[in-house]
Chains A and B, each alone.
Chain A
């Protein structure tokens, strides 16, 4: 560039400053991402129990939904304050519902669907699990507050999807 006009001088200065800032910016970006990545992995090592896990695949989509545990609709006691609940999503309701849970209990939900895909979301908690026919998924949660929770279907499942609302009632611990 032989003809140095004020404009090219402006460009030149701007460019030099920019190069410096760019290096700093990229350094910070990469450092930030490394931190976030480590943080994500650390969460899993700790496993908050919020992670949806698989508990079985079946050839026929109805095998789990028709099994005795899912059909009985009963809360199964598995420890001093631990329970298992077997929940099926159907067009367009959750069964069993309402589910009574003692306050302070840790409940492991086993969830499946008897027809199309549903979404098992318990409003106000971290419970969020896809209900897939022929697959059983599982997630656990500890209910510390005595209150009523809504089970909301959050995966579109047809014309009455919006009315597929169930209930979990956390019964106050006797004092």
Chain B
């Protein structure tokens, strides 16, 4: 039942892995450096909501709240996640299959994303493009912004070629066998992203790039929004699925157990590929011009994504229980306390999973449009996604870096204790922060608002009803500053100052209680391209009724630079 495990892998003679480890390190450093800037700005925003306005003192660096918020959103949501993911989803399958990835392809991804990120940084820090990470036209930033975004997006699609090439080579050498799990999960994620990124890519390349250069004078705002959300919804799964890879493929072993079911992991990924695509219109429930019936169907279908999430909750909960019981845990919760909580990588990921349960519950609120009318574009929404992408995903990547840096560099973690402290602070800080954000949202406090710039009396007049929750937001933010500082001491400390490890650290590929062999389900799910094709057709069916009326009644709006 058990397959080859990671422990023996580094001894494979054929590949030295040095070049791959170096590039993987670059992806990791690129991503986490972006997050460092973004996370340093985050607490300023939290303080803003608590009516503390730090921005007048930051003038030389940040002209306004909105400039900072653009940097925060773009660096955290795009640059950080894209870099880490484009590294992991090539490196991990290559190690699983013991095959060398196509290095020119992988470097192309890195190169495109790096150039894109540099252009974005330039366009954001000179305050020419404070359009926020959603860059809704007719707000109009500089060409550097849109072309940077274009390159970053294209670069994040390139790893698909590397993974599919690995999979093809492996299948040729192992005819009739099922794709090993990590490769399967990576391929499903990147295929989903291939379809998902088409929307933003089209918006950028067809609408915004030429417009920013002055080649076209006008833009249609609602078509832009719709194409953005074609990508903007599934992107949350492009953030999440790599974290799931870690939860399914590594965490069970790190926790001292095994994954209870390999086919369930495959099913989850295939369902996420299918269900994430057609429902992006639920971000436009408040937009005019979309028939209520379409909105209702989309809102209903959105709930389907709870299915893979609940399968995941079950399978991973059980895998952790298995690990806890093997470690001697007894009774209803004994298995949980028996998990290796002293291991910062495990602690980070288990806390990430717990946080995600709340994120999922909140997501069901956002998806049902009667409730969404109350919370749409209030602080509830950033409250929601800071416990999903901002904690479940981010803390998983942090936890992963705690074994991966030693694995890649041969250096020990700088300080286990500080790593643990950073994780717990992040967990606590985000809990307080996000409670405050959700709560304030129920009082109609809008997101993306420099409320601390209002006169204090006006702030109290309009948002005084939410004063206490807004203070929680600020307190959470300050705790998160501490968490961020602790984490980066560990991160860079390990990279540059960690002690040389005596023994190499291996990738913790998990074993399975039930493997894929003989599973009919796994056999069907192996047809990834047909599943992708089908998903594309369903997505078109969901979007054409929305888009066709927009194309029939276009608006020609001029651009505005108003910050």
Contacts and interface: CB of A to CB of B under 8 A. Distances in A.
Nearest to B315: A22
A132 B221 contact: yes
B354 interface: no
Contacts of A37: 300-301, 303-304
Contact of A152 (B301, B364, B462): B462
Nearest to B132: A156
A10 B368 CA distance: 43
A75 interface: no
14 contacts: A14-B322, A15-B513, A26-B311, A29-B307, A43-B369, A50-B370, A57-B549, A116-B221, A116-B560, A119-B446, A129-B288, A133-B557, A154-B447, A158-B563
Nearest to A17: B318
A41 B370 CA distance: 11
B289 A40 contact: no
Interface stretch (A77-85, A93-101, A135-143): A135-143
Contacts of B311: 26, 29
Contacts of A157: 139, 562
Contacts of A53: 288, 292
Nearest to B455: A163
A41 B449 CA distance: 33
A116 B138 contact: yes
A133 B221 contact: yes
Contacts of A40: 296, 299-300, 303, 368-369
B562 A154 contact: no
Nearest to A48: B370
A41 B557 contact: no
Given A123-B444, A128-B373, A158-B562, 13 more contacts: A15-B260, A18-B260, A29-B311, A36-B364, A44-B295, A50-B370, A51-B295, A52-B288, A59-B554, A121-B446, A126-B373, A128-B376, A159-B563
B102 interface: no
A162 B562 contact: no
A154 B454 contact: no
Interface string A38-82: 001101100110111111011111000000000000000000000
Interface residues of A, number: 67
A130 B288 contact: yes
Interface in A105-119: 111, 115-117, 119
Contacts of B288: 52-55, 111, 129-130, 132, 135-138
B558 interface: yes
A136 B289 CA distance: 8
B222 interface: yes
B466 to A, nearest CB: 10
B21 interface: no
A4 interface: no
A110 B511 CA distance: 60
Interface residues of B, number: 75
B246 interface: no
A107 B287 CA distance: 19
Given A152-B444, A158-B560, A165-B462, A52 B285 contact: yes
A162 B462 CA distance: 11
B371 to A, nearest CB: 9
Most chain B CB within a 10 A radius of its CB, from A138, A153, A162: A162
Contact of A132 (B222, B377, B454): B222
A124 interface: yes
Contact of A22 (B261, B303, B549, B558): B261
Contact of A161 (B225, B374, B449): B449
A143 to B, nearest CB: 16
A19 B447 CA distance: 44
B538 interface: no
A3 interface: no
Nearest to B466: A123
Interface in B26-72: 64, 66
Given A40-B303, A52-B286, A162-B454, A154 B556 contact: no
B304 A51 contact: no
A50 B293 contact: no
A51 B260 contact: no
A171 interface: no
A161 B369 CA distance: 25
A128 B553 CA distance: 23
Nearest to A50: B373
Contacts of B287: 52, 130, 132, 137
Contacts of B306: 29, 32-33
B557 A128 contact: no
A89 B193 CA distance: 36
Interface in B141-171: none
Contact of B289 (A10, A137, A153): A137
Given A52-B286, A119-B377, A44 B136 contact: no
A159 B66 contact: yes
Given A128-B376, A150-B462, A18 B556 contact: no
B314 A25 contact: yes
Contacts of B98: none
Nearest to A22: B314
Contacts of B374: 126, 128
Contacts of A25: 310, 314
A135 B66 contact: no
B385 interface: no
B555 interface: yes
A21 B315 CA distance: 10
- Which of A150, A155, A157 has the most C-beta atoms of chain B within 10 angstroms of its own C-beta? A155
A111 to B, nearest CB: 8
Contacts of B450: 161-162
A161 B293 CA distance: 32
Contacts of A156: 66, 132, 136, 139, 448
Interface in B255-312: 258, 260-261, 264, 284-290, 292-293, 295-297, 299-301, 303-304, 306-307, 310-311
